[in-house]
């Protein structure tokens, strides 16, 4: 089985490094790209069609909710896992309304990111 191709989108370079490190420990994942805003993520998805996008919500240019909505419109098979520090009910609901397949708090990157990606893919 081919590894899952993952794009990480976050305006914070430290978070991108942390997510990349968490993914690198699993040989069934391959990081195919990083983006620092939703605009760059949309361009990357249009060209490369990753299996999974790990998406922050609060970013410049195009935010995560708008980017998620557009990714799901243009590439419905791409799973979007929202990864954010905003975990109130309104934000969670907005993420799912805009097409997110899974929602994860940034505090849980080390312990729950890999299982969350697997859960999102099982729901396919």
The mean per-residue pLDDT over the stretch 97-113 comes to 95
To which residue do tokens 């909710």 refer?
A: 65
Longest dimension (CA), the chain: 37
Q: How far apart are CA 92 and CA 50, in angstroms?
A: 23
Q: Above 80 in pLDDT, residue 123? A: no
Ordered structural domains, the chain, with CATH: 4-122 (3.40.50.2300)
Q: What's the confidence (pLDDT) of residue 31?
A: 95
Reported residue count of the chain is 124
CB 103, CB 72: distance < 8 Å:
no
Q: What is the pLDDT of residues 59-78, one digit of tens each?
A: 999 999 999 999 999 999 99
| Contacts (Cβ under 8 Å, ≥6 apart) of 39 | 61, 62, 67
In contact, 38 and 66? CB cutoff 8 Å? yes
- Residue 124 is predicted with a pLDDT of 62
11 closest CA partner among 73, 81, 83, 79: 83
The answer to whether residue 82 scores a pLDDT higher than 90 is yes
Q: What is the rounded distance in angstroms from the CA atom of residue 6 to the CA atom of residue 33?
A: 7
- Is the pLDDT at 87 greater than 70, yes or no? yes
> Confidence band (pLDDT; 50, 70, 90) for 37?
very high
Indicate the pTM of the whole model. Answer: 0.94
pLDDT at 35: 97
Q: When comparing pLDDT for 121 and 117, which is higher?
A: 117
């Amino acid at each position: 089985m081919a590894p899952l191709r993952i794009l990480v989108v976050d305006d914070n370079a430290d978070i991108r490094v942390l997510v990349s490190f968490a993914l690198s420990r699993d040989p069934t994942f391959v990081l195919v790209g990083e983006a620092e805003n939703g605009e760059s993520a949309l361009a990357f998805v249009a060209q490369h069609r990753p299996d999974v996008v790990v998406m922050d919500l609060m970013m410049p240019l195009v935010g995560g909710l708008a980017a998620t909505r557009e990714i799901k419109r243009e590439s419905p098979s791409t799973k979007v896992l929202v990864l954010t520090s905003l975990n109130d009910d309104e934000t969670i609901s907005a993420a799912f309304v805009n097409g997110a397949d899974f929602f994860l708090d940034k505090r849980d990157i080390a312990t729950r990111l890999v299982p969350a990606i697997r859960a999102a893919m099982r729901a396919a």
